[in-house]
Structure 1
Amino acid sequence: MNIKALLLITSAIFISACSPYIVTANPNHSASKSDVKAEKIKNLFNEAHTTGVLVIQQGQTQQSYGNDLARASTEYVPASTFKMLNALIGLEHHKATTTEVFKWDGKKRLFPEWEKDMTLGDAMKASAISVYQDLARRIGLELMSKEVKRVGYGNADIGTQVDNFWLAGPLKITPQQEAQFAYKLANKTLPFSQKVQDEV
C-alpha cells in the first residue's frame, strides 16, 4: 500500500484541536506564496461548488487550506480513513496477513470493483468496506475498543457494534487529528511494530 498517496488522500478528506502540534503557515515559504497557495486551494473548492478543508501535516506544523477552515477542528466519522487503523490492529494481533485473500461472498456490492476476492491491500486501494468489516469482526469489540483507546484515535468511542462504528458513529475524529495520525503512520511512530506499520 502506498502510504504517501494514502496520506495525501487522507489529509484531503479528514485532516486536532486538542493536540501539541502547531497550526501555522510553513515558515519556509514567504507569506505571499502561502497566501497565493491558500487562495488557489480555496478557489478549487469554490469552483466545485462545495465546502471543505485540506489539512497538511509536515513535522509538527499543520497548514489548513480551503473555504471552510472551521471543519479542520470539527469531529466527523472517520469513514474510509479508519481502514488504516483497522489494518494496523488486525495485522498486529495476527487476525489477518497481508497475503491472505478475503473471499467475496457472491453478494451484490455498492461498486462492481468490490465484487471479487481481495487482500487487505487490494481492499484498501478499492476502499472495499466489506473486507474491513470482516476484519473488524475478527478483531472483536473488546480488542478493537482497547486498541482504539490505546492509540487515542479521535474520541475513542466505538460503541457496541464492531463492524460499522467508523461509518455511522459513535467514533469521530477531526481532520487535524486524522492528519497527525496519518503523519505518524507515514513516519512509523505509531505504537505498533515497525513491520506492521511498513505493511500498512
Structure 2
Amino acid sequence: GTEGCFLLYDASTNAEIAQFNKAKCATQMAPDSTFKIALSLMAFDAEIIDQKTIFKWDKTPKGMEIWNSNHTPKTWMQFSVVWVSQEITQKIGLNKIKNYLKDFDYGNQDFSGDKERNNGLTEAWLESSLKISPEEQIQFLRKIINHNLPVKNSAIENTIENMYLQDLDNSTKLYGKTGAGFTANRTLQNGWFEGFIISKSGH
C-alpha cells in the first residue's frame, strides 16, 4: 500500500497548523526533484546561473520529451529537468555543495552517492545517499521565505520566482515543487509536493 504524510505550518511563527502521520513526516527519504530548490539557491548564489541563462540541449535523448530542448532556470524547475541539475552540480563542485548543505542544515547532508559508484555529483539526490524528512523540508522552506539562509537575497528571490505555480483567491500566490523517485524497474518509490502560499502583503 501507499503511505503518506502531510504538514502545514505558519512560516512567520513556525506554528504547526496541521499534521498527518507524524512518524512518516519525521522519516528521511530522497528529496528527488525537490532538491532543485536547494540547488537553485546554490547556483544563483555562486553566480553559476542567472535568470537569462540558457541550458543548451546536446541533442541526445534525455528520457522525457520535454527535456529534449534548451531550458531556462524557470523551465528547469517547472519540468524537473534532471540533466540541467547534473550540469549545475558539476559546475558547483562537490566540496562547495557539501558546504552549502551544511549551511542549509539540509537533511543528512550526504552527497556521496551510491556506494562504490562515484556518482554523488550526478545522482546523490535521486534515490541515493542524500535524505531529508518532510519536517526538515518545512524548516528549509521557512528559512527561504524568511530570507534566513547564508546566500545572496537575489538567490532567494530568483528561486522563489521560479517556483511560482499559480494565483489563488484573496490575492495570494502558490509556489512549490514536485518530486518523484523511482526504483530501477521504474516503480514509484516516493512522491513529494512542497511549497508555500504568499499573500499580497508578502506573508
Give the TM-score, by structure 1 length.
0.70
- Aligned residue in 2 for 1:172: 131
SS in 2 for 1:142: helix
- Quote the offset at 1:187 in angstroms: 2.7
Q: CA deviation at 1:80?
A: 0.8
Answer yes or no: is the 8 Å Cα contact 2:9–2:18 preserved in 1.
Answer: no
Between the aligned partners of 1:179 and 1:98, the Cα distance in structure 2 is 26
- Higher relative contact order (Cα pairs below 8 Å, separated by 6+ residues): 1
In the TM superposition, what is the alpha-carbon distance from 1:183 to its structure 2 partner?
Answer: 2.2
Q: Percent same amino acid at aligned positions?
A: 26
Tell me, yes or no, if structure 1 residue 144 matches structure 2 residue 97: yes
Q: C-alpha deviations, 1:140-174, integer Å up to 9, x for none?
A: 11111111112211111111521211113211110
| 2:149 maps to amino acid | L
**Structure 1 match to 2:5:** 53
Amino acid at match of 2:127: A
Structure 2 portions without partners, runs of 5+: 113-117, 160-203
Is the CA contact (8 Å cut-off) linking 2:104 and 2:140 kept in structure 1?
Answer: no
Which residue matches 1:196? 155
1:52 touches 1:69 (CA, 8 Å); kept in 2?
no
d(CA) in 1 for partners of 2:64 and 2:18? 32
Match of 1:29 in 2: none
List runs of 5+ in structure 1 lacking aligned partners: 1-48
Structure with larger Rg: 1
- Trace 1:1-200 onto structure 2 (pairs within 5 A): 50-58=2-10, 59-66=13-20, 68-159=21-112, 161-200=120-159
The Cα shift of 1:54 comes to: 1.4
Using the alignment, how far apart are the partners of 1:120 and 1:99 within structure 2? 8
Task: Give the conservation status (yes or no) of the 8 Å contact 1:64–1:72.
Answer: no
Identify the residue that residue 14 of structure 1 maps to in structure 2. none
- Could you list the runs of 4 or more consecutive aligned residues of structure 1 that deviate by over 6 angstroms after TM superposition? none
Where is the helix percentage greater, Structure 1 or Structure 2?
1
Range 155-164 or range 99-108, more displaced: 155-164
- Please tell me the residue identity of whatever aligns with 1:182: L
The two structures, once aligned, show a CA RMSD in angstroms of 1.6
Amino acid at match of 1:151: F
Matched-pair contact (CA < 8 Å) for 2:45–2:152:
yes
Q: Could you tell me how far 1:69 is from its partner in structure 2?
A: 3.5
